[in-house]
Amino acid sequence: MQRILLTILVALAGVDARANLITNPSFETTSPVVAPGTFGIFTPGSTGVTGWTVVGNAGTDIGITSTTFAQSGISFVAEDGSNWVDLTGLNTNNDTEGLQQTIATNIGDSYTLTFWVGNVDSPGTGFGVTSTVNVLVNGASLGAATNNCTACTTTLIWMQFSRTFTASSTSTTLTFLNGDPSNDNSNGLDNVSLLDNGPVTTATPEPSSIALLGMPLLGLAGWRRYSRA
């Protein structure tokens, strides 16, 4: 019995108990609901994707896509759950379209952001060859994340990316924008996670290190007393 309890405790120790701070991280909840095998279009200013706000220039949009949606012989499966976001939308494709969410944060805390980018390599169908998502924190770029898989010719394949930042305010806005060219009509985003790593601290010397640093000073003081004698 003790061995079983020990095994359970060891297993639990390896589980990250921090809560995901993102609301609706896999875009499962929308209004209107996206029916299986279809996709829904959401325009700038829309809050129809629970927890998120759609951004972009006038005339742009994004698409919440069902995991059972298929077209041109390609299966567009979600990385997690039943839905995923196509940042290229339907009517246009430029680098202003995307979505964002504002989260309460602690000033000075380090945060880890992870997300998945989905890609198909099918230029003949208009779905392009790579998928690039531009990530911003409070308007500042955290860099581009590009999925350039080549074996994803018949199924949407996902790749995970991670970014770390330190919060400088009590609220942080995360923005995900389309980075694909106008002739690429598929750019997937799914399963977004934000974890609080706690305050960023500056390492301080250990007591033994402090003692070693003080030894030359003690030696110097002793030498001066000896010289005076």
d(CA 229, CA 183): 88
Rounded to whole angstroms, the Cα distance separating 218 from 210 reads 13
How many Å separate Cα 5 from the centre of its chain?
35
Position 228 scores a pLDDT of 45
pLDDT in tens, the chain (229 residues): 555 544 544 444 455 679 999 999 999 999 999 999 999 999 999 999 999 999 999 999 999 999 999 999 999 999 999 999 999 998 777 889 999 999 999 999 999 999 999 999 999 999 999 999 999 999 999 999 999 999 999 999 999 999 999 999 999 999 999 999 999 999 999 999 999 999 998 655 555 544 445 555 445 444 444 444 4
123 in Cβ contact with 174 (< 8 Å): no
- Prediction pTM value: 0.83
CA distances from 192 to 48, 69, 71, 79, 228 (A): 17, 21, 25, 10, 70
210 within domain boundaries: no
Q: Is 152 inside a domain boundary?
A: yes
Asked, for residue 11, whether it belongs to a domain, the answer is: no
User: What is d(CA 43, CA 89) in angstroms, rounded to the nearest whole number?
Assistant: 9
The pLDDT of residue 4 is 52
Asked whether residue 185 is domain-assigned, the answer is yes
Which of 192, 193, 197 is closest to 165 using CA atoms? 197
Total domains, the chain: 1
pLDDT at 91: 78
**CATH code: domain of residue 188:** 2.60.120.260
Report helix, strand or coil for 141.
strand
> Residue 79 is part of which domain span?
18-202
Does 93 map to a domain?
A: yes
Domain membership flag for residue 127:
yes
- Residue 3 domain flag: no
C-alpha distance from residue 194 to each of 18, 132, 143, 205 (Å): 9, 20, 16, 31
Tokens of 147: 């999925």
Q: What is residue 72's predicted lDDT score, i.e. its pLDDT?
A: 96
Domain contains 68: yes
> Structure tokens of 78?
């979600």
Structural tokens at position 214:
């003080």
86-104 b/e (C-beta count within 10 Å ≥ 16 → b): bbbbeebbbbebbbebebe
